[in-house]
Amino acid sequence: RGEEHTDPHDRTHRDSGNRGGRDHEDPPPAQPPRREGRLRRFERGVSENRRGNTDRSGARQPGTVAGEVFDAILTDSCNDMCGVLILEGLTAPWWGPAEALEDNPGQPKGLSWRPHPAPGRGYGEPQNGHLVAGTVGASYQRVSSTIEAHRVEARVRTAWRLGGDFAYTEFDEDLGDSRDVLRMRAGHLTYDFARNDWWTFTSGLGWKTLKGQEINEGIDFTYRAECYPVRPWVFDFTFEAASVSGDLLGEVSLGGGVVLKNLQVRAGYRTLFSDGTDLSGPEAGLVVWY
């Protein structure tokens, strides 16, 4: 009766095509690139220093900070007298305090469990001192309106002057729609190379790790001075220099506070710097002496 002939294979093909069109979904819109904050730029600067200071084989290239200092010390253009003066100048932070304090490193000196244990006393050498003493502290630092840092640290020293320290710092940055975190760890074996009842000078070597989206680490040198001038005041200065991923990562801290029994309320300023960038700001915290 003039009916239209329909091939079942054609109908199946059209149905499959329609279903395919209905099932097809547009790809999700491209996500905007993640905003790069100050912490990431700081970390990237350290990482780029690492890549820039090595060739394809990983060999160290000339022209780095450490290499330039080393070359300057050993240059042939300097006579023997100049070399002696340079050596004395570089080592003055160690022999200078020992001579000024008239210290005898070979004589063990007991320690107090807190500064100013009695009127007219500092910290270094009470008559009946303890063999082990130290501190545990926590602090908060404001780097900028969007970056803050939390830090915990511990120090231990002995009557034989050997000791150690450990510090963990976590930087947190608010990027508006996300957050960025940069973690730093450092530990050292230390030696009190000069001390008396009013001063303690400490130096040591250890390891520092900077971890964000990458891990950068290396040998770390520390130099610290503490002063206990008059009850209840305590002041401190710390300098650290690390060869992290082949370039300099420096840290400087200066602070002070008052000690009530074994608890110190401390305020100061801390800066972490590398290749023209830094994370700096005031800090405040508590220190327990034991």
Whether residue 93 contacts residue 74, with contact meaning beta carbons closer than 8 Å, is answered with no
Name the class of domain 86-289. mainly beta
User: What number of other Cβ atoms are within 10 A of residue 133's Cβ?
Assistant: 20
What stretch of H or E contains 286? Answer: strand 277-289
* Bond before 232 cis per omega within 30 degrees: yes
Best CA proximity match to 244, nearest among 39, 42, 46: 46
Identify the pLDDT of residue 149: 98
Q: Are 140 and 146 within 8 A, CB to CB?
A: no
- Compute the half-sphere exposure of residue 163: CA atoms within 13 Å on the CB side of its CA: 25
Distance CA 185, CA 244 (A): 12
Which residues share a beta bridge with 155?
135, 165
Within 10 Å of residue 19's Cβ, how many Cβ atoms? 10
* DSSP letters for 66-90: HHHHHHHHH-TTS-HHHHHHHHHHH
According to the model, what pLDDT value does residue 3 have? Answer: 52
| Residue 23, both tokens | 């099932």
- Do the Cβ atoms of 85 and 73 come closer than 8 Å? no
What values do phi and psi take at 228, rounded to 5? -125, 75
Question: What is the pLDDT at residue 77?
Answer: 47
Rg (C-alpha) for the chain, rounded Å, is: 30
Is pTM, for the whole model, over 0.85? no
Spatial distance between the Cα atoms of 215 and 212, rounded to a whole number of angstroms: 7
* Rounded CA separation 165/202 (Å): 11
Q: pLDDT digit of tens for each residue in the chain (290 aa)?
A: 455 555 555 555 555 555 555 555 666 665 555 667 888 888 887 877 555 555 545 454 544 545 554 454 455 445 566 766 777 777 888 888 988 988 887 777 788 889 988 887 888 665 678 999 999 999 999 999 999 999 999 999 999 999 999 999 999 999 988 999 999 999 999 999 999 889 999 999 999 999 999 999 999 999 999 999 999 999 999 999 999 877 899 999 999 999 999 999 999 999 999 987 899 999 999 999 99
- Rounded CA separation 39/183 (Å): 10
Place of tokens 């060999």: 59
Measured distance CA(26)–CA(118) in Å, rounded: 78
CA–CA dist 264, 262 (Å, integer):
7
- 69, 247 Cβ separation under 8 angstroms: no
pLDDT of residue 285: 99
